[in-house]
Amino acid sequence: GTQVTVEIHPRNTTPQLLKKLSFGKGFQKTEAPRPPSGKDLHAYPWDKSSLKSMPVDLQQFEKLDAYALKVNVKNSIEELVTALLKQARTDLEKVRAIWIWICHHIEYDVVGYHNKSQLSCKPIDVLQTGVCEGYAGLFEQMCSIAGIQCMKLSGYSKGYGYKMGQTFTGDSDHAWNAVYLDGRWHLLDSTWGSGSVDDSFSKFTFRYNEFYFLTHPALFVNNHFPDNSNWQLLKPALALKDFENNMLHNSNFYTMGLLAAHPETGVIQTVNGKAAISVDCRSSMLFTFKLKGIQEHGLMTLRKHGMTLEVYPQKTGSHKLQIFAKPPKASDDVYNCVLEYVLECKSVDKSTRFPKDLHQPVGPSWFSERQGFLRPSHPDPIIHTNDGRCSVTFTLGKDISVLASLHSDNSSLTEDMRRRHIMQIHRGNQIEFKIHLPHAGNFVLKIYAKKKSDPGNYDYIFNYLISCLNTDVKWPAFPQSYSKWAEDYEILEPLSGLLPANRNVQFKLKLHGIAKVLVQADNTYPLTRSRDGYWEGTCNTSGCTEVFVMVHENANHSFYSHVLKYEVETQ
């Protein structure tokens, strides 16, 4: 009365028939699994909906996961499965319990990987040791005992030792599983779910990775290419050539809410010495990058849902480009690598070089907006000026005090002078930075802020790149201001901190709450208050090297405070 099923199949395809296994008392049957059909297939490319191929509520697994972690039976696989299934009711829960146990208890056999002669892939031996073939075989057998249809699949993978843009030939190098749940096939990889090996492939580290449990097939195919393309569970199926060319997204890419990266190929040819990369994500993210291990020769800008990066390698040849990300709310300062490209650079753009003080990302963004810098006059990261002057305005959030400084690679400016080429003007909740460049070149405008009520230091917020190609540019610094110069005072003229010698110089200042204003050169010149509220007058610069503006806050006091200092040109 025993029924025997025989399957004949070509040598290069996976058998569709699962062994019927009989254990101890009774006969636990698993039906012969059906091959994938139309209802198992998911659209390719990924529709950006879910990371999983079926709805999974991880919170509902918390108790089951905790229970499965503690099960410690290694005498036989049957006893182990019986113990694991005590808390599992549905097929999904059974698969989950087996998955959690394998991912946390089977250590990858690094020695066995290197020395295949010492390797056993029998599931009972895998309880003591493990390689990918063994993980998948053990998973298949445990599912079979639990009455769940499961297939062990093999194929190519972009795992340990994978080099960007490589081709795949010869035998398959990895094994994983398909499980049949709720009338559909689903994919999982317990080898990669359990942890990772180091770069030298000498040490395995347990590091549980939820991503590889019931992964959406359009994401799974990013680094798993089955021998039998039907097991991609995709419509249309991917060709091996596309698998080889496609960008490798590691699991961090998707678990951090990133959606897509452009270009989609792992190897990028630079065009006129430049490569452009962009990333899209669900919510605001912080990014950084490294070119050959160093953050240089690039310009990265944050967008609300992603970032853009332009890279200008300064040497020809192959360059590794890594992109890192972290959520803004992350407590630690750790950025995770989410993308790796290889840049093939045939020519170098020597004209595009960035100052070493330029900090990534560049320009205003959702991040500077959160710090209180709203409605920027210049939303782009680079400000081009032909005459060496520019003006940048923002609406400021409440209770914010601001500092700014100017940096350049080929400038001998002291820290004080770096600040004096920028003038801050406050009008209500508007702030304007007037910038006069000391010479042509590329400059970094760094902006710092703190709460006025906070006695601590200023925090760096963001920076701009200011570019001026006009070699005739040579603006003097703005006049030096003292502590009594209030932030909402304003100089209309003279803006230059260097006055001509032996001249009459016109002064026009916007000050309030002041009784008298004097300009002290060789003689003292009072300014008069006009109807529109400006203090105006003239001063002669002959016979002096410095000119001071002094204010008298109270008409009853004889005490004057210095607010501005000008230098006078030497004869």
pLDDT tens digits, 80-94: 999 999 999 999 999
Question: Do 453 and 374 share a domain, yes or no?
Answer: yes
Give the pLDDT band of residue 414 (cuts 50, 70, 90).
confident
Give the pLDDT band of residue 121 (cuts 50, 70, 90).
low
Kindly name the residue from 42, 104, 174, 216 that is annotated as catalytic. Answer: 174
CA geometry: angle 299, 303, 309, nearest 5 deg:
25
Q: Is 510 exposed, middle or buried (0-12, 13-18, 19+ CB in 10 A)?
A: middle
Nearest to 66 by CA among 51, 90, 87: 87
User: Domain range for residue 526?
Assistant: 480-568
Mean pLDDT of 365-380: 96
Question: Do 74 and 221 share a domain, yes or no?
Answer: yes
Mean pLDDT lowest for which of 117-131, 144-158, 221-235?
A: 117-131
Question: Do 340 and 371 share a domain, yes or no?
Answer: no
- Where do we find the tokens 């795992």? 159
For residue 443, the model assigns a pLDDT of 96
CATH of the domain at 290: 2.60.40.10
For residue 411, the model assigns a pLDDT of 74
Q: Is 220 exposed, middle or buried (0-12, 13-18, 19+ CB in 10 A)?
A: buried
> What is the average pLDDT value for the chain, to the nearest integer?
89
For residue 98, the model assigns a pLDDT of 97
Residue 110 has pLDDT above 80, yes or no: no
Question: Do 300 and 424 share a domain, yes or no?
Answer: no
* Number of domains observed in the structure of the chain: 4
Residue 479 has pLDDT above 70, yes or no: yes
Tokens for 83?
């113990």
How far apart (Å, rounded) are the C-alpha atoms in residues 17 and 14?
A: 9
Sign of CA dihedral 41, 43, 49, 51: positive
The answer to whether residue 221 is domain-embedded is yes
How far apart (Å, rounded) are the C-alpha atoms in residues 249 and 323?
A: 11
The answer to whether residue 355 is domain-embedded is no
Contact 497, 420 (CB under 8 A): yes
The neighbour count for residue 378, using CB atoms within 10 Å, is 17
Give the C-alpha distances (Å, rounded to integers) separating 342 from 198, 244, 268, 357, 538: 21, 14, 6, 26, 64
The answer to whether residue 124 is domain-embedded is yes
Radius of gyration of the chain (CA): 34
Mean pLDDT lowest for which of 12-26, 87-101, 148-162?
A: 12-26
Give the pLDDT band of residue 124 (cuts 50, 70, 90).
low
Does 189 participate in catalysis according to the annotation? yes
**Please, what is the end-to-end C-alpha distance for the chain in angstroms?**
119
Tokens for 371?
């710090």
Q: In sequence order, which residues have a C-beta less than 8 Å from that of residue 304 and are 6 or more positions away?
A: 284, 366
Final residue before a domain boundary, out of 468, 502, 534: 468
Q: Please indicate whether residue 414 or residue 403 has the higher confidence score (pLDDT).
A: 403
How far apart (Å, rounded) are the C-alpha atoms in residues 567 and 571?
A: 12
Contact 440, 473 (CB under 8 A): yes
Question: Do 190 and 291 share a domain, yes or no?
Answer: no
For residue 503, the model assigns a pLDDT of 93
Distance, C-alpha 141 to centroid of its chain = 41
Give the C-alpha distances (Å, rounded to integers) separating 121 from 82, 136, 149, 468, 477: 22, 10, 20, 67, 76
Question: Do 447 and 402 share a domain, yes or no?
Answer: yes
Final residue before a domain boundary, out of 295, 312, 345: 345
Give the C-alpha distances (Å, rounded to integers) separating 146 from 2, 27, 60, 140, 571: 21, 12, 21, 10, 97
For residue 11, the model assigns a pLDDT of 66
Question: Do 242 and 95 share a domain, yes or no?
Answer: yes
Final residue before a domain boundary, out of 246, 269, 304: 246
DSSP letter (8 states) at residue 271? B
- Where do we find the tokens 């040490």? 203
HEC string for 106-127 = CCCCHHHHHCHHHCCCCHHHHC
Kindly name the residue from 103, 132, 143, 468 that is annotated as catalytic. Answer: 132
Sign of CA dihedral 210, 215, 218, 224: positive
Q: How does strand 174-181 pair with strand 150-157? A: antiparallel
The pair phi, psi for residue 556, each rounded to 5°, is: -80, -15
Residue 20 has pLDDT above 60, yes or no: no
How many residues belong to the chain?
571
Question: Do 123 and 264 share a domain, yes or no?
Answer: no
Q: Please indicate whether residue 533 or residue 571 has the higher confidence score (pLDDT).
A: 533
Q: Please write the tens of the pLDDT for every residue from 266-312.
A: 999 999 999 999 999 999 999 999 999 999 999 999 999 999 999 99
Enclosing H/E stretch for 568: strand 561-568
Kindly name the residue from 103, 189, 281, 539 that is annotated as catalytic. Answer: 189
Mean pLDDT lowest for which of 64-68, 109-113, 278-282?
A: 109-113
Give the pLDDT band of residue 504 (cuts 50, 70, 90).
very high
How far apart (Å, rounded) are the C-alpha atoms in residues 2 and 24?
A: 17
For residue 1, the model assigns a pLDDT of 56
Question: Do 290 and 380 share a domain, yes or no?
Answer: no
Contact 51, 255 (CB under 8 A): yes
The pair phi, psi for residue 465, each rounded to 5°, is: -105, 125
The answer to whether residue 97 is domain-embedded is yes
The answer to whether residue 30 is domain-embedded is no
Contact 398, 378 (CB under 8 A): no
Nearest to 438 by CA among 471, 464, 414, 474: 474
Question: Do 292 and 331 share a domain, yes or no?
Answer: yes
**Which of 13-22, 199-208, 442-451 has the largest mean confidence?**
442-451
DSSP letter (8 states) at residue 297? S
Question: Do 66 and 128 share a domain, yes or no?
Answer: yes
Strand partners, 268: 343
For residue 21, the model assigns a pLDDT of 33
Crossing angle for the helix pair 91-105 and 132-145, to the nearest 10 degrees: 150
For residue 107, the model assigns a pLDDT of 80
The answer to whether residue 527 is domain-embedded is yes
For residue 19, the model assigns a pLDDT of 35
Nearest to 149 by CA among 94, 110, 189, 203: 94
Contact 524, 489 (CB under 8 A): no
Question: Do 209 and 263 share a domain, yes or no?
Answer: no
The answer to whether residue 46 is domain-embedded is yes
Mean pLDDT of 232-260: 94
Nearest to 394 by CA among 309, 485, 464, 307: 464
For residue 18, the model assigns a pLDDT of 38
Give the largest CA-CA distance in the chain.
123
The answer to whether residue 317 is domain-embedded is yes
